[in-house]
């Protein structure tokens, strides 16, 4: 649900703290079937579809604010299309757990 005053995303009780969520995402576009989010600093963007799929971009070297059209050759962007977000989260958590087990509790430092 969006805070109509700021456009930042709030979240359900028991999930991410609303203040943390506002630091991570703001709503930049909506349709009946699509929700578009960007992080306030311009390094991430997400397109969320009605069918549960998510298009996720991570921008490197130049933020969206620095080059919104991504024309610079310095842009290094990563894109992933996710249709089972719960599975993706589970796999990322498993990667983190394996890394902590291998490198120790202070990973990453």
Per-residue DSSP letters for 30-80? E-SSEEEEE-TTSSEEEEEETTS-EEEEEEESS-TTT-TT--STT-EEEEE
Give the dihedral sign, CA 65/66/69/73: negative
* pTM (two decimals): 0.72
Query: Is 72 domain-assigned?
Result: yes
Among 7-11, 45-49, 63-67, 102-106, the minimum mean pLDDT is found in 7-11
Q: What is the pLDDT of residues 57-99, one digit of tens each?
A: 999 888 888 888 877 777 888 999 999 999 999 999 999 999 9
Whether 44 maps to a domain, the answer reads yes
In a domain, 70, yes or no: yes
Range of the domain at 30: 18-84
Number of domains in the chain: 1
In a domain, 68, yes or no: yes
Tell me, yes or no, whether 35 lies in a domain: yes
């Amino acid at each position: 649900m969006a805070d109509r005053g700021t456009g930042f995303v709030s979240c359900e009780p028991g999930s991410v703290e609303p203040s943390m969520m506002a630091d991570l995402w703001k709503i930049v576009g909506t349709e009946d079937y699509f929700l578009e989010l960007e992080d306030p600093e311009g390094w991430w963007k997400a397109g969320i579809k009605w069918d549960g799929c998510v298009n996720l971009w991570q921008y490197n070297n130049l933020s969206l604010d620095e080059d919104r059209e991504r024309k610079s050759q310095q842009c290094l962007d990563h894109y992933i299309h996710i249709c089972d977000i719960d599975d993706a989260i589970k796999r990322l958590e498993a990667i983190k757990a394996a890394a902590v087990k291998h490198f120790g509790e202070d990973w990453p430092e």
